[in-house]
Structure 1
Amino acid sequence: WNKAEKREIRILWKKIQTDPKIKKIAQNIKFEDSWTRNIFKVIVQGWYWCTMNASHIIDSRGHFTSLDFQAFIRYEVSPYNEHVKKHIKSKPGTKFNTLDQVPLDQLLMYGGMDERITKQLWKDQEKELSTKRGLKQAYRFFHKGLVAFSDTQYIGIPIDLEYYEKEDKRLEKKITKLEHKLLNGKEALLFKKETGNELKLQKDFSTKDLRELFFDILKLKPTKMTPNPKTKIPSVDHDVLSQMNNPFAKRIIQRRKLFKVKNTYLAQFKREECDGRIHPFFDLHIPRSYRSSSSMPNFQNIPVRDKEARKAVRQGVIPSKGRKLGLIDYSGTEVCAAACYSKDPVLVKEITDGIDMHQSQAKKLFKLNEKQVTKDIRFYTKNQFVFPEFYGSWYKACAYNLIETCFDLKTNDGIAVKTHLKNKGIVDSDDFMDHVKKEEKKFWDKYNVYYDWKEQSIKNYQKNGYIETFFGHRRTGYLSNNQILNTPMQATGFHWLLWSYIEANRESKNWKTDLIAQIHDEMIYDLDPREESLVWGTTKDIMCNRIRERYDWIIVPLTVEIETTPVDGSWYEKSTIGI
């Protein structure tokens, strides 16, 4: 095309895209929406259908959503991109693909096939979903979520690139020092003396060399074997190395952590930075549990529990100049969802009365009083007893994990959990196992209605071949008991957030404040301090009140936690506020 033809095409295309009377259908509307905003500088009006996300609603199994796959399984059409395949992806270091180099007749054929298949797929999907009320409701809900996420993706998240460059160099120096100590220390010299070979370090040491060093040369006692019964050999995984009282093992763990922070977390932020911002994809067509995912960069995979890693990454995420980062997060969504599904009266009353079941259970499991329970003890009780029991585990597995994670922790009065339990008459692991068994029985005697719901849910899945959520989503395919039980809870917790996100995004169009990210059950604002009261008041009302007015099956109160940074402060500097 010459310049005049290109100009005419742009004018016509903009006219079509901005006309709300013309329905728009696409395979991946969020991508097409973002592309149109960036290339044509217009906001698409009239989005009607996304065949990719409809494919996911109809069948949540992995890799079912691509147009090539749908064309093949529905219409027996083999891939037709042989002439354009190498031109679709942009070359490294460039921003654009090379589709303009494809001969016009081949490009038009490829585009025409895409259009015909997408159009037919839309017709078939809409017809199929029209007969299934719940799935149609689920699709319409996710469709609104896609449009909201497209707004978020376009705005982007401010980052401090200069900080990340400096942090990258700092980490490189620390890693280099650790590697020098690892390769020149007494362990490495002993390894060479005994084997005649140098310890080799590339991305990591070989597991074969580590086994030989620790168990054959240093004569350490193996604490864990690899899971394969045919090749059962001593394990040298993270858990094993963490338990070793050995400086060489500790340096390996430290190097691995810093290597991951530098080459996974920081690298993706630096790679995806554009004009001082990153623009992560937030998608709804990948997780089988009907939650969201993130990529380019993955903003939902950021270190939380390790302080050094958390600081290294979060220190570079900042608000726009003169603003704050504002974060609002649902509290206890899985427990609240469990109450809504099971209608367990004890669970409903505890939530309504504001009782912290994880704190309460921690006191029982470790024979502690209220003041002795630490955040870590509560955390492991929640994730290694309460939720595992909710989702089909049993006392032995729970007790084993609690022994591994909690026995060396200290209570708030400075006593090791293991020592405290001995003082209470639980002198060894077997005693603790028996104690957890008794607590499990009390737990299910108390939440017996939830237990009955749990058992019935498994039977329903075995009969129907799927599990269904309140928002109409159905998860199909082969599922373990754990997946049968945790999918409704985790999906519904996210769906509450997504519903609130859609509403908050609509409200934010009248604000200077921008909604810029979503992480699990949390949304993040680039917050104008002058609007702080308005934003938090409105958002809290949406998340706690309006949603319950909309869905009468939410039979327990929903609560939120709010955090902000100082003006111009980084994500790492956030602190809780009361509203």
Structure 2
Amino acid sequence: MSSFLLIVDGNSLAYRAFHAMSHLRTSTGIPTGAVFGFTSMLLKLLHEKKPAYLAVCFDKSRINFRHSRYAAYKANRRETPEELRPQFPLIKEVLDAMNITILEKDNYEADDLIGTVARLATAQDIPCLILTGDQDTLQLVSPLVRVLLTKKGISRLEEYTEEKVAQKFGCLPPYLPDYKGLAGDSADNIPGVPGIGDKTAVNLLKTYGNLEEILRRLDELPPRLAGKLAEHASAARLYRDLARIDCQVPLTMNIASLKWTGWQGERLLAVFQKLEFRSLTNQINNLAPNRQKQKEQTMPQPAAVQNNNNMEKAGTDFRPATLLTESNLEQTVSMMKRAGEIALAFTGGKEAARQSLALDAGEECFLLDLSPAAIPAEKLALLLRDLFAPGISYICHDAKTLAWLLYRYQVQPPDPAFDTSIAAYLLNPGSGPRGLGELAMEYLQATLPPPDPDSLPEHARCVRRLRPVLDDALDRTDMRELYYSVELPLVRILAEMEMAGIAVDKKQLQIMSDELEERLQQISTEIYRLAGEPFNINSPKQLGQILFEKLGLPVIKRTKTGYSTDAEVLEELSAVHPLVGLVLQHRQLAKLKSTYCDGLATLIDPQSGLIHTTLHQNVTATGRLSSSDPNLQNIPIRLPEGRRIRRVFRPPTPGYILLTADYSQIELRVLAHLAQDPLLKEAFLANQDIHTRTAAEVFGVPLEQVTPEMRNRAKAVNFGIVYGISDFGLARDLKISRGEARRYIDSYFARYPGVKKFMEQSVALAREQGYVTTLLNRRRYIPDVNSKNFAVRSAGERAAMNTPVQGSAADIIKLAMVRLSRELKKAGLKARLLLQVHDELILEALPEEVPALGPLLRYCMEQALPLSVPLRVDMKQGPNWYEMEKI
């Protein structure tokens, strides 16, 4: 484009940025992800496109002129997230410092302002480029107007011309509202014509061009379709009009006023410093205040940003990647040894068919095609063994997946020297797993293309550049020791556990499936008898009609579609009518059958004959590991049938047995250590049963007079306290009154004042600094503790109380796994770690190794991290995970 106008959909881009970077906050806990993502994306676009004119349009309010015609317009939209709302003024503050015009007007949407500004510009033959995540603006596309649509997050964009719109939707841009008048738009709560979906709408528009022409020629359509359109013609016109952008908004501005002359350096620097945007601050640090007027289409951008945007290392003449073959392998390995540390990037995971590998050695980058067509599998395996021989350090993003890639070629994966995915997780645990592209945007303000063989060298360069940035951040947050001593060594251990797998008894699975099916039939029959008629037990609507209309049970809560029949509602009603308890039982057994008895068989690897669960190291905010495909940490072992599911899991190696080691009440022991409460510590130091001891304290009776019921209630209080339980939650769990539950909690804190003080201090610390830490200094940011919303704030307070305890327990078992892995190799034992489930480790071992393995396992776990109270481990052995005997 020549001299052109860039129009940004402020609301759309802010929402996209918020969801892509919702974890980002200042050191005081102020959320800034939307501001950072918005600003980074805008800077990149300004550099690449160099517009002469600029405007950013925002919605002024949720209500606009369309609501007067259709009250349900966008009624399904959720409220603006509480953490996003205060970021809009910050975004506008950034825009103001950048001298960018902001447009918003009562009774109109941002789309209407965008359309009006585009109309005014094109009337003067000024081309327009619209940046948005909203497909509604595609109707504005014309010979002079193009739309840049965000595809995923804020890093990938797709440009739309008239031709591309027509190809995708089957009609020219001005008739896209006609498409919505027919097919509807769930995002805007526009229903469309009943029975007409996307495909039918596209076909109609391809044939007739627009809605009015379709309605004029109903006689040419099949009778059923014509009847629907005739019946809903007026509604279709209304829906079309709602979807149509108003390009005639009365604005008191002209295009000349949108001329952009560059930002104000000092003001922008001050805003970035306030928001703690260090990387963006570095980019504008050398800019003089009130930079001189730029030439038309020129963006004031320092060299640092230009280097970031094309992923080049400053001052480095990076040559194109060299294709790695057998002929240049020896030379490549020598170069890598000289370089010392190699940055890796790869395509393909466990199952991907097309896999490639890029190796950045600093002075040169190499690309290796792992497909059988490029290099025969036998030669490729030898080549990979040479590349990953000892003596070279590797850094990459997601080293566990790399280990799986190498495992497929029988190559021993190296210990990573650095894994950017794990480092980023430690720095922002609430964000979960993040791709390399997201990290490039956040830490380098660079945009990566999607991973493919051509772009892999850029990805490898990105990994290399991220390493020092993330390393420095780990230093600043005091998590270097946690990263290098626990999390990084754990990557290889988890990979080995996944690869080892676990055997499943398919015959036993089928037997249990048949038994559960029979039991479900019996329960269904009894449910139908109590209901007086058969119905679909799995249908919330039909179940609601039986419970609340036919049986007249009290309605606890409603959903948008009717009565709520979720687990919480059914638990509350289970004491009212026996049918409810049977429905709960039916749900639990049906899930057991579908998820485990039937589902496990489909997850057996056809090559190994084993199940290889995926162990996630960077998912939970507390640091706990999780698993999926299958989720072995979620087997409902409180049910007898759930416990029996464990019978199907066996050692993967013939002749071996399973050995389990389970921490005894580790979270309560960690709580005793953190709180330094004398009575709580005394109970563990005296090796007393903590639930009996708590019952004696809470109920004021001698230890010998504690009944089983008292102990069960004390157990609920003990574990409930760890999770910051309320009197309401405890009353629900124990099926007692809230008053009685409150007395239990008050009595507990009266007897254990150190625990109460510790929890109050944890919440106060979270409010003051925005985060809490574990014993190994793992951080969890909890901005919700300062929320004005009671429910959100209460959840944040519970997280602040629980995270130091649960996170420290996670640290301890991870430490134990790292130590055990090292000691098993040192002792020359053949035993292997297979699974980690909550506070339990599961190994396979030769029976004759158990006498030596048992004490070693106990030592590694109980001495993982010395506390002021002892850690205790319960150990069992057996042929499967169910039939276990204590040792």
TM-score where L is the length of structure 2: 0.52
Match of 2:830 among 508, 512, 516: 512
Number of the residue aligned with 2:658: 325
Structure index of larger Rg: 2
Preserved CA contact (<8 Å) 1:225 1:232:
no
Partner of 2:843: helix, strand, or coil?
strand
CA RMSD of aligned residues (A): 3.0
> 2:613 and 2:846 mapped to 1: Cα distance?
22
Structure number with higher helix proportion: 1
| One-letter amino acid of the structure 2 residue matched with residue 127 of structure 1 | D
Deviations 1:484-537 (A, max 9, x none): 011111111122111111121223332122221111111111121111111111
Partner of 1:525: helix, strand, or coil?
strand
Quote how far apart the aligned CAs of 1:329 are.
0.9
Number of the residue aligned with 1:98: none
Point out which structure has higher relative CO (alpha carbons under 8 A, 6+ apart). Answer: 1
Number of the residue aligned with 1:536: 854
Q: Identify if the C-alpha distance between structure 1 residues 438 and 299 changes in structure 2 by more than 3 Å, giving closer, same or farther.
A: closer
- 2:387 is the counterpart of 1:16: yes
Partner of 2:873: helix, strand, or coil?
strand
Partner of 1:61: helix, strand, or coil?
helix
Number of the residue aligned with 2:777: 472
| One-letter amino acid of the structure 1 residue matched with residue 506 of structure 2 | L
Structure 1 residues 134-283: aligned runs within 5 Å: 134-176=479-521, 178-179=523-524, 185=529, 187=531, 189=533, 199-200=535-536, 204-206=538-540, 208-219=541-552, 221-222=553-554, 225-226=556-557, 237-240=569-572, 242-246=574-578, 248-274=579-605, 275-283=608-616
Quote how far apart the aligned CAs of 1:278 are.
1.2
Q: Identify if the C-alpha distance between structure 1 residues 181 and 148 changes in structure 2 by more than 3 Å, giving closer, same or farther.
A: same
Q: Identify if the C-alpha distance between structure 1 residues 35 and 162 changes in structure 2 by more than 3 Å, giving closer, same or farther.
A: farther
Deviations 1:399-453 (A, max 9, x none): 623641xx7xxxxxxxxxxxxxxxxxxxxx58xx36x555544433332233222
Preserved CA contact (<8 Å) 1:61 1:476:
yes
Match of 1:43 among 389, 407, 412: 412
| One-letter amino acid of the structure 2 residue matched with residue 272 of structure 1 | L
Preserved CA contact (<8 Å) 1:138 1:473:
no
Q: Identify if the C-alpha distance between structure 1 residues 302 and 128 changes in structure 2 by more than 3 Å, giving closer, same or farther.
A: same
Q: How many residues align?
A: 498
Tell which deviates more after alignment, 316-325 or 296-305: 316-325
Preserved CA contact (<8 Å) 2:536 2:543:
no
Q: Identify if the C-alpha distance between structure 1 residues 259 and 374 changes in structure 2 by more than 3 Å, giving closer, same or farther.
A: farther
Q: Identify if the C-alpha distance between structure 1 residues 249 and 446 changes in structure 2 by more than 3 Å, giving closer, same or farther.
A: closer
Match of 2:876 among 531, 538, 563: 563
> 1:450 and 1:148 mapped to 2: Cα distance?
35
Structure 1 residues 76-475: aligned runs within 5 Å: 76-78=445-447, 80-81=449-450, 107-176=452-521, 178-179=523-524, 185=529, 187=531, 189=533, 199-200=535-536, 204-206=538-540, 208-219=541-552, 221-222=553-554, 225-226=556-557, 237-240=569-572, 242-246=574-578, 248-274=579-605, 275-311=608-644, 313-319=645-651, 320-363=653-696, 378-383=711-716, 385-394=717-726, 396-397=727-728, 400-401=731-732, 403-404=734-735, 429=737, 433=739, 437=742, 439-475=744-780
Q: Identify if the C-alpha distance between structure 1 residues 557 and 278 changes in structure 2 by more than 3 Å, giving closer, same or farther.
A: same
| One-letter amino acid of the structure 2 residue matched with residue 300 of structure 1 | Q
> 1:217 and 1:26 mapped to 2: Cα distance?
61
Number of the residue aligned with 1:53: 422
| One-letter amino acid of the structure 2 residue matched with residue 388 of structure 1 | G
Number of the residue aligned with 2:396: 26
Preserved CA contact (<8 Å) 1:325 1:570:
yes
Quote how far apart the aligned CAs of 1:32 are.
1.0
Tell which deviates more after alignment, 289-298 or 248-257: 248-257
Q: In percent, how many aligned pairs have the same letter?
A: 22
Preserved CA contact (<8 Å) 1:358 1:381:
yes
Consecutive unaligned residues in structure 1, runs of 5 or more: 85-106, 190-197, 408-428
> 1:2 and 1:321 mapped to 2: Cα distance?
33
| One-letter amino acid of the structure 1 residue matched with residue 658 of structure 2 | L
> 1:290 and 1:211 mapped to 2: Cα distance?
39
> 1:371 and 1:343 mapped to 2: Cα distance?
26
Preserved CA contact (<8 Å) 1:364 1:439:
no
Q: Identify if the C-alpha distance between structure 1 residues 364 and 339 changes in structure 2 by more than 3 Å, giving closer, same or farther.
A: closer
Consecutive unaligned residues in structure 2, runs of 5 or more: 1-370, 785-795
Quote how far apart the aligned CAs of 1:217 are.
2.1
Preserved CA contact (<8 Å) 2:432 2:618:
no
Q: Identify if the C-alpha distance between structure 1 residues 76 and 576 changes in structure 2 by more than 3 Å, giving closer, same or farther.
A: same
Partner of 2:650: helix, strand, or coil?
coil
Match of 2:886 among 569, 576, 579: 576
